[in-house]
Structure 1
């Protein structure tokens, strides 16, 4: 008796599964026209990188300056590890705001726009870059968007005079999309 092994369907299935895994890490191309106007990058700039930042945001329980006797959680600083489309660490993000590449490049910026994110997630953000330093990932950056945020909002824990000064870290994740002037 002769047995025929059918490899083509198995090979096709393997390619399909591998392609599906690979597409998980494909960088997103942002269509600015679909974003809220406040976080759209102006015309004349092109997307050059897409990273995922995973980290935490520190909040502190503070007295409200405009409401004597009341307290609220106040944003202190973020810190996150930046990964590329393949999941490799390419840099870090921290207060300033500052993005620093493992390649030695660095850029700071100033927030120029915010848009609400779904409930429970920090706002989307548009940052205009100041001149960058070093060569590499952040060299020549003009804008950075924070999109697709998850988590990062102020703690739900009580904030009163009895725990004023207490700090808490909240986990978050966001896509950081990098732009340079179009040429």
Structure 2
């Protein structure tokens, strides 16, 4: 009787713990993305991350137009978490660098961007350079930045009087990492 009672308690506790977990997500699909930022056929998702962080912009003279100024992207800094909210790495730059907690890291070259709504930085497709260090980033071929929120250049004044000033804006995005199959 006592054993049956203990089995019931353990079963109830296990079921309760499962009930509090977030439902499992299905495999990532890029079907709703613009064609420009879709990863070519022959690659599969190996890591899905959710990033939250900041993008720094700096007030600078426009190229070849010394009397006109604009906010220029100076670099990102964000934490990378898996879909369960566990910190697995970071994103920083320049150059744009994705680094896993295991020490492996990579940079890449932008292939394409696509608008993602007013007030949001664009979705992006990046061709990965070979990873440095053994670990999760080894063999990554492409990185997508999708589901962006915020991160656009500040709307504040950028002129000769505040040339060199930096401003930081918050953003969120999903970074999806692919390998060739």
The TM tier, using the shorter chain, reads 0.7 to 0.9
Return the offset for 1:33: 3.0
Is 1:113 the counterpart of 2:112? The answer is: yes
> Which residue is equivalent to 1:169?
168
Cα distance in 1 for partners of 2:60, 2:66 equals 11
What TM-score, normalized to structure 2?
A: 0.85
Is 1:63 the counterpart of 2:64? The answer is: no
| Cα displacement string for residues 114-167 of structure 1 (whole angstroms, at most 9, x for unaligned residues) | 000111000100000111122322121000000000110000111111111100
SS at match of 1:42: coil
Q: Which of 16, 40, 48 is the matching residue for 2:38? A: 40
From the superposition, tell whether residues 125 and 84 of structure 1 become closer, same or farther in structure 2 (CA, over 3 Å). Answer: same
> Which residue is equivalent to 1:153?
152
Confirm or deny: 8 A CA contact 1:62 1:165 kept in the other structure: yes
- Equivalent residue pairs, number: 167
1:53-92 to 2 correspondence within 5 Å?
53-92=51-90
What TM-score, normalized to structure 1?
A: 0.84
Is 1:52 the counterpart of 2:50? The answer is: yes
RMSD: 2.0
Please, which runs of 5 or more residues in structure 1 have no aligned partner? Answer: 1-10
Q: Of Structure 1 and Structure 2, which has the larger fraction of its residues in strand?
A: 2
Cα distance in 2 for partners of 1:28, 1:128 equals 25
